[in-house]
Amino acid sequence: MDTYDLVVAGAGPAGLTLAWKASEQGVRVLLFDRKKNAGHVSYTTSASYIDLKRWALPDEIAHPITTIHFSSPGAAIRSSTRACVLRRRQLLAELEKRCLGNGVEIRYGTYARDIDVRDEAIRNVQLSDKSAVDGAVFADCSGLGNVFNRALPVNTSPATRALGYEHVVPLNSEPEGIDLYMGGVLDGGYGWLFPVDDERAIVGVGTLVPEHFPRIRQMLDLFLKVPRIAERVENNPLESYGGVFQSGMPLKRFHRGNLVIVGDVAFQGNPAAGEGIRYVMDSAEMASRAVTAAVKAQDMSHLGAYSQDWVDKYYSLYRTNYKVQRFLVWLTRQTRLLDFMVRMGNKASDSTVETLVRGEASGAFVLAKLSKLLYKPFT
């Protein structure tokens, strides 16, 4: 039996950040993932408001974004912003480098065959490489995989799944401008255009309506014909990807026994903005502090600090955002109201638009801004 302080399932942004931050504090970590290598991901889109400096990440892993063009079928807003499009494979490679530098053992092409749970705790895991591993703490960072969460359930809430599909295409214009589009031809869905460098962009569509999942490719074809999108990119796909983003009503508890759950498995991607990476990395750092304390004190009650920190920082915002997500699904089908709201957004300042797009608007913020805008006469 190989013994570790922390055994992590899933080497996505959550698992790699948790492994990196915990190993920095001397925690001995095993990280396993069924994918072939760090960058073996099924989609590359990652528009983000991440602060690269906070994570000491190099500028090269991101492409800068300075404008957002948000449109509905009959209206548009243009706003300045300071965001980026992360090169997801480079980000994962960078996080992996830090883990390896701290002595984290990473096993790719590996999954859990059998998980032994007794007395409200995970005792050991039989891995597909025929090894058996024991850990003081286990972390489920496997996104939709639910590797440990299935064996010792922490998140049992119903998930809302958004299906996304995207092409990498040649870019003709505005290498620092992203486009977001809602409703219209996408009928209950949304679309995006994110430049990844000066010559290529990702064009994608997403929907939260399960009946539309089978027609996601047709939705993308329709989106590529929207005049502004057709002008900005060539309909000549160089690569194509699909993926599922999972969210839900926010949880209040992310630990049970000697298990913590982090990232998409724990609904920690922002439900309104669909932005995951920045939030799951922050959540993973919170988890790493509690895991380190639990390992050092050999006392699992320290894991509760992670749940508490997350709830204090995000619960109320995410509750509002989950309701906003439901409202947006409905709004995408009310074309006149959607156009009206986008036109109204034209009166808002860049910072208000940015707060909304970042998914950081509280209920009070939205009400205050709405009432102010409703009083402004339309020109």
Ligand X SMILES: Cc1cc2nc3c(=O)[nH]c(=O)nc-3n(C[C@H](O)[C@H](O)[C@H](O)COP(=O)(O)OP(=O)(O)OC[C@H]3O[C@@H](n4cnc5c(N)ncnc54)[C@H](O)[C@@H]3O)c2cc1C
Instruction: Establish if 30 lies at the interface with ligand X (CB under 6 A).
Output: no
Site string for ligand X, 247-276 (x = CB under 6 A): ----------------xx----x----xxx
Of 143, 157, 168, 171, the C-alpha closest to 10 is 143
Q: How far is the CB of 277 from ligand X (least distance, A)?
A: 4
Q: Name the CA radius of gyration of the chain, rounded.
A: 21
CA distance 87 to 98: 17
Q: Name the token pair of 1.
A: 């039996």
Is residue 245 close enough to count as binding ligand X by CB under 6 A? yes
Determine how β-strand 160-170 pairs with β-strand 239-247: antiparallel
Q: Is 33 in the site for ligand X (CB under 6 A)?
A: yes
Backbone angles phi, psi at 111, to 5 degrees: -140, 170
**Interaction of residue 209 with ligand X, rule CB under 6 A:** no
- Least spacing, CB of residue 283 vs ligand X, in Å: 9
Q: Which residues ranging from 142 to 161 are in contact with ligand X (CB under 6 A)?
A: 142-143, 145, 147
Cβ density class 318-338: b for 16+ within 10 Å, e for less: bebbbebbeebbebbbebeeb
Pairing of strands 200-207, 160-170: antiparallel
Q: Which of 225, 314, 221, 213 is nearest to 271 (CA)?
A: 314
Among 9, 31, 178, 182, binds ligand X (CB under 6 A): 9
Between 114 and 143, how does the x/- string for binding to ligand X read (CB under 6 A)?
---------------------------xxx
What residue has token string 């690569």?
A: 239
Strand 189-195: give its sheet, edge to edge. Answer: 47-48, 75-86, 62-72, 177-182, 189-195, 200-207, 160-170, 239-247
Pick the closer one to ligand X by CB: 196 or 348: 196
Q: Does 12 bind ligand X (CB under 6 A)?
A: yes
Does 11 participate in binding ligand X (rule CB under 6 A)? yes
In the complex, the smallest distance separating the C-beta of residue 76 from ligand X, rounded to whole angstroms, is: 20
User: Interface with ligand X includes 359 (CB under 6 A)?
Assistant: no
Does the protein bind ligand X through residue 46 (CB under 6 A)? Answer: yes
SS (H, E, C) 187-207: CCEEEEEEECCCCEEEEEEEE
Least separation in angstroms between residue 293's CB and ligand X is: 22
- Complex with ligand X: residue 15 or 177, whichever CB lies closer: 15
Instruction: List interacting residues with ligand X (CB under 6 A).
Output: 9-15, 33-35, 43, 45-48, 111, 141-143, 145, 147, 164, 243-245, 263-264, 269, 274-278, 280
